[in-house]
Amino acid sequence: MTSRWNRALVAVVVGATATLGGAAASEHHASAAFLEIGGDAGILRRNLADTQYKADFAWQLHAEIAFIPSILMVGPYFGMQTAQPEIPSANTPNTVKFMDAGVRAKVRLPLFGPLVPYGVVGVGLVHGNFPDQTVPLCTSYAGQTACAGSTTVPNATANFVEIPVGLGLAIQLADELALNLEGDWRPTIGYKNDAYETALANAQNTGSTTPPNPSRNGYAFSAMAGLSLTF
């Protein structure tokens, strides 16, 4: 009987030791990780000048190297989104493809076991492939609107700068695997395309419905979820 209890006690001690050892190893791995690679997907809504773009699917890849293990990580990111401007148009407005790439820093706060809140800040370049837009030429007289035709506003493809700032939560699923939930605010700064502005002015002078303003000053909001691996 005593022998049986001794064996049971040994089994409990071994099991507890293995469990604590695994937890310690997991925490050690998280604190010693020097590289994190991940991918996220979700929704992004953009505003440029006075033009809103419909919220649409967006994805992002990122990789960070530890400068202060488990706390400060820095590295590149790359993302893509296709969105449609919310403008009056004779036809459905053409969609715009946005591609962004830059560098961001992530500050992690490993205070709550498997739940790790973090903040991100970065700077990147956004390439917007703005296709030609066809807008109607309309005039109003005595309360009546007549559209005699349409005009094409030329391509306003441009590059502009974004400054993503966000908060997130990493949920450690395993030693190397984590689920990330993140929300970002992305103010943008850009320039105006002179050729586009000239065509815009001409279209407005003829009484057409206003096409998108070419300024790239604005902002975007994104909400994404994804997985990351640490090494």
Q: What is the mean pLDDT of residues 135-155?
A: 68
Tell me how far apart the alpha carbons of residues 46 and 52 are, in angstroms, rounded to a whole number.
6
Residue with tokens 């997907």: 41
Tell me how far apart the alpha carbons of residues 48 and 159 are, in angstroms, rounded to a whole number.
12
Whether residues 99 and 206 share a domain: the answer is: yes
Whether residues 57 and 28 share a domain: the answer is: no
Tell me how far apart the alpha carbons of residues 50 and 36 are, in angstroms, rounded to a whole number.
38
Return the pLDDT at 54.
Answer: 92
Return the pLDDT at 2.
Answer: 42
Return the pLDDT at 110.
Answer: 87
**Using one digit for the tens of pLDDT, what is the confidence trace for 40-97?**
999 999 998 778 899 999 999 999 999 998 899 999 999 999 998 887 665 677 788 9
Contact call for residues 220 and 162 (beta carbons, < 8 A) = yes
Whether residues 83 and 20 share a domain: the answer is: no
What DSSP line would sit under 149-196, residue for residue?
EEEEEPP--EEEEE--EEEEEEEE-SSSEEEEEEEEE--EE----HHH
**Using one digit for the tens of pLDDT, what is the confidence trace for 99-116?**
999 999 999 998 888 999
Question: How far does the chain reach from its first CA to its final CA, in angstroms?
Answer: 48
- Give which of 223, 94, 96 is closest to 169, Cα–Cα: 223
Share of the chain above pLDDT 70, in %: 65
Whether residues 118 and 188 share a domain: the answer is: yes
Parent domain of 200 = 35-230
Whether residues 43 and 136 share a domain: the answer is: yes
Share of the chain above pLDDT 90, in %: 45
Whether residues 83 and 147 share a domain: the answer is: yes
Whether residues 105 and 58 share a domain: the answer is: yes
Whether residues 22 and 106 share a domain: the answer is: no
State the pairing for strand pair 218-230/177-185.
Answer: antiparallel
Whether residues 193 and 163 share a domain: the answer is: yes
Residue 201 has pLDDT above 70, yes or no: no
CATH number at residue 168: 2.40.160.20
Prediction pTM value: 0.72
Triad 48, 103, 159: Cα angle to 5°: 35
Whether residues 4 and 110 share a domain: the answer is: no
Whether residues 157 and 66 share a domain: the answer is: yes
> What is the tally of structural domains in the chain?
2
Return the pLDDT at 85.
Answer: 84
Whether residues 123 and 168 share a domain: the answer is: yes
